[in-house]
Structure formats: structure tokens, C-alpha cells
Amino acid sequence: MSTKKPKSSSLEKLLNQISGRWTMYILWILDNNGSLRFGELGREVAGISTKVLTERLRKLEAMGVVYRDYKATIPPEVTYGLTERGQELSRTLDPLCELASRWYDSP
């Protein structure tokens, strides 16, 4: 195991950016389903409002974790997916998902 620790300011910055309800779940949904249109993503993240979904996606896009593909069709088609950086971040969710399954899915 490495004894090298990240700079606390770098870790703090990352945690501040990815914290907040829904943010990591949106990443997990995109990682498991691939690119999704806005409406599909909203249905996958049951209980999230359109406003909050839009805010979280904008934040993730600004971080370079999610890309937004807009096609000027009628109606407009907006698709979201993970960037290379987003895929790197989503890989950190696998161990957390396994832990959650052990804690909550087992009798």
C-alpha cells in the first residue's frame, strides 16, 4: 500500500465538487448505461427534479467529467455521457458499490 497522500487541498477540492445529493449516482448511472438522453437520465435517477438534474449535469460538465452533445433537431436532442476523466472517476465507485451491496443487499 502506498504511503503517498494527496495534498489535502486537492482532495478537499475534489470532494467539494463531487459531493451533494445525486452527483455520484448520476456518474454511476452513466457508467452503467452509457450515454443517455436527458429524459432517460431523469427517469433512471428516480426522484430527482429537472432543476437539480440540470444543475448537477452542468457542474459535472464544468469539471470535465460529463460531456453534453446537443443536436438541433425538433425536438432538440441532448445526450450526456462520461468523458475520459469521468470514466476514471466512475471506476472509484465500483468498490463503493460492492460495499453497499454487502451492507444493504445481504440478509
Please report, for the chain, how many H helices and E strands are present, in that order.
6, 3
Q: Could you tell me the pTM of the whole model?
A: 0.81
- Domain covering 9-104 assigned CATH 3.40.50.300 in the classification: no
Strand-pair partners of 80: 36, 68
C-alpha closest to that of 57 among 68, 71, 69? 68
| pLDDT value for 107 | 65
How is the chain split into domains, by residue range? Answer: 9-104
Question: What pLDDT, in 10s, does the model give residues 50-87?
Answer: 999 999 999 999 999 999 999 999 988 999 999 999 99
The C-alpha cell at 56 is 448537477
